[in-house]
Structure 1
Amino acid sequence: MYWLCLILAGLFEVGGIINLKLAEGFTKLKPTILFIVFLCLSFFFLSVSLIEIPISIGYGIWTGVGASGSVLLGMFLFKEPKNAKKLILVAGIIFSIVSLKLIS
């Protein structure tokens, strides 16, 4: 259950960051509200996951899911540049996330 909460926390973080982009400096109400809701949910699920998962592992995975998810969605939703270097680096983040899970 704690690992599921951690993954949900990371996914909600990605949703929050995407809505932060869509909020355009907090000038658009709906994405601004969604940003706040998603980030609150992200912190809630992160806090629940840290009941059982060590903070060194939990925080690393949470930020890794958020970072890699944001990079990938930025490329696909916002047409940000895609190149082999960026994809290799994101793969490295994902490899690190999986490795952290395996050692815990």
Structure 2
Amino acid sequence: MAWLALIMAGIFEMFGVLMINKLHKDQNLRAFLLLVLGFGLSFIFLAYAMKTIPMGTAYAIWTGIGASGGAILGMLIYHESKDWKRLVFIAMVLSAAIGLKLVS
């Protein structure tokens, strides 16, 4: 269950990052509240996961999901660069997160 919570924390982290961009563009209360909700839920799920998963592993996987997911969503939603080099480094981040799961 802790690993599922950690994945959910990463997904809400990605949502929070999207809402930062939305707030920057729209500057309205709704975007701000969604940003707070996204990051708030992310921290709640992360805290729950860290009751079982070691801090270093949980934090690394959480940031890996958030960073790579945010970059991928930026490519898909905001038409950011899809250069092959970016994709290689995103794959490296995801590989490191999977590696940490395998050794934990």
TM-score by length of 2: 0.97
CA-to-aligned-CA distance 1:74-95 (integer Å, 9 cap, x gap) = 0110011110000000000010
Deviates more, 1:20-29 or 1:62-71: 20-29
Distance in 2 between residues matched to 1:66 and 1:41, nearest whole Å: 13
Deviates more, 1:72-81 or 1:16-25: 16-25
Correspondence for 2:64: 64
Correspondence for 2:101: 101
Code of the residue aligned with 1:49 in structure 2: it is A
Runs of at least 5 residues in structure 2 that lack an aligned partner in the other structure: none
**Structure 1 residue 79 and structure 2 residue 79: aligned?**
yes
Correspondence for 1:10: 10
Runs of at least 5 residues in structure 1 that lack an aligned partner in the other structure: none
Kindly state the Cα deviation for residue 25 of structure 1 after the two structures are TM-superposed.
Answer: 6.8
Kindly state the Cα deviation for residue 69 of structure 1 after the two structures are TM-superposed.
Answer: 0.2
**Structure 1 residue 52 and structure 2 residue 52: aligned?**
yes
Distance in 1 between residues matched to 2:20 and 2:86, nearest whole Å: 22
Distance in 1 between residues matched to 2:8 and 2:102, nearest whole Å: 18
TM-score by length of 1: 0.97
Q: What is the aligned-residue identity percentage? A: 38
CA contact under 8 A between 1:26 and 1:32: conserved in structure 2? no
CA contact under 8 A between 1:20 and 1:26: conserved in structure 2? no
CA-to-aligned-CA distance 1:56-83 (integer Å, 9 cap, x gap) = 1000000000000000000110011110
Coordinate RMSD, CA, aligned: 1.1
Runs of 4+ in 1 over 6 A off after TM superposition: none
